[in-house]
Amino acid sequence: MIATRFTELVGCVVPIQQAGMGAAAPPELAAAVSQAGALGMLGTARAGLTAATLADLLEQVRLLTDKPFGVNFIVAPIFLSGTSTRPPLDLKCIEIAARAAKVVEFFYGEPERRLVEMVHAGGALACWQVGSREEAVAAARAGCDFVVAQGVEAGGHVRGTIPTMTLLSEVIAAVDMPVLAAGGIGTGQAMAAALAAGADGVRVGTRFVAAAEAPCIRSTSPP
């Protein structure tokens, strides 16, 4: 067990956040990670998400663990202006997630105070995954409780343009809140390096895709 500002804030005992990864982060994975002492995250970037299907996914997590878990949302680039190429976020989904989860997290759009306030009103902590120092400062100004600094080594949706460790030190210097490092971290050594560099925890995505609870691995063995 390693206590950091992140574990104390969120109420977990291992300073690891499993990345929300759309349908690759189902209730089974989020619950297993939380159950093991880290912060599991339910992915919502999946086909057919509605307030009703999200409520069902949240209930599935809750049936599998009573530990803190989070919910991840991909935000349309310009959330409020309606000029996005992505479908707009269903704000009802954020309200439901904030009432059910310990953390509600956003990625991709500019940090938006209205979304953060909605999360806090529901009783959850707000997080923004950022790809630059400037975005981290914007997340702090929007009222986020912690940020994830995503470096260019990250898998999946990548916003970072510089190496994880470089961005991490820039973000730590720029904001006064827990900072997680994301991108290319899949071993205990890499986690130790990030913690030694000042991170309050690490966010791991690709490594969790190989977990039995993620729906991505097909067995090659005969049944």
Ligand X SMILES: Cc1cc2nc3c(=O)[nH]c(=O)nc-3n(C[C@H](O)[C@H](O)[C@H](O)COP(=O)(O)O)c2cc1C
Residues that bind ligand X (CB under 6 A): 19-22, 24, 43, 45, 72, 74, 107, 129, 150, 153-157, 182-185, 203-207, 209
Cβ closest to ligand X, residue 65 vs residue 206: 206
User: How far apart (Å, rounded) are the C-alpha atoms in residues 59 and 30?
Assistant: 12
Q: How far is the CB of 153 from ligand X (least distance, A)?
A: 6
**Residue closer to ligand X, measured from CB, 40 or 183:** 183
Least distance in Å: CB of 222 to ligand X?
Answer: 27
Least separation in angstroms between CB 107 and ligand X: 3
Q: Which of 175, 153, 173 is nearest to 163 (CA)?
A: 153
Dihedral angle sign, alpha carbons of residues 71, 216, 51, 83: positive
Q: How far is the CB of 65 from ligand X (least distance, A)?
A: 20
Nearest to 147 by CA among 184, 173, 121: 173
Name the minimum Å distance from CB 113 to ligand X.
Answer: 19
What is the layout of strands, in order, in the sheet containing 125-130?
16-18, 201-204, 179-182, 146-150, 125-130, 103-107, 69-74, 40-43
What sections of 21-90 are H helices per DSSP? Answer: 27-35, 51-64
For ligand X, give the closer residue by CB, 172 or 191: 191
Closer to ligand X by CB, 7 or 72: give it.
72
Shortest CB 41 distance to ligand X, Å: 8
**Residue 66 vs 216, nearer CB to ligand X:** 216
* Residue pair 74/107 in contact by the 8 Å Cβ criterion: yes
CB atoms within 10 A of CB 55: 16
Tokens 């895709």 found at:
209
Of the pair 98, 154, the CB lying nearest ligand X is at 154
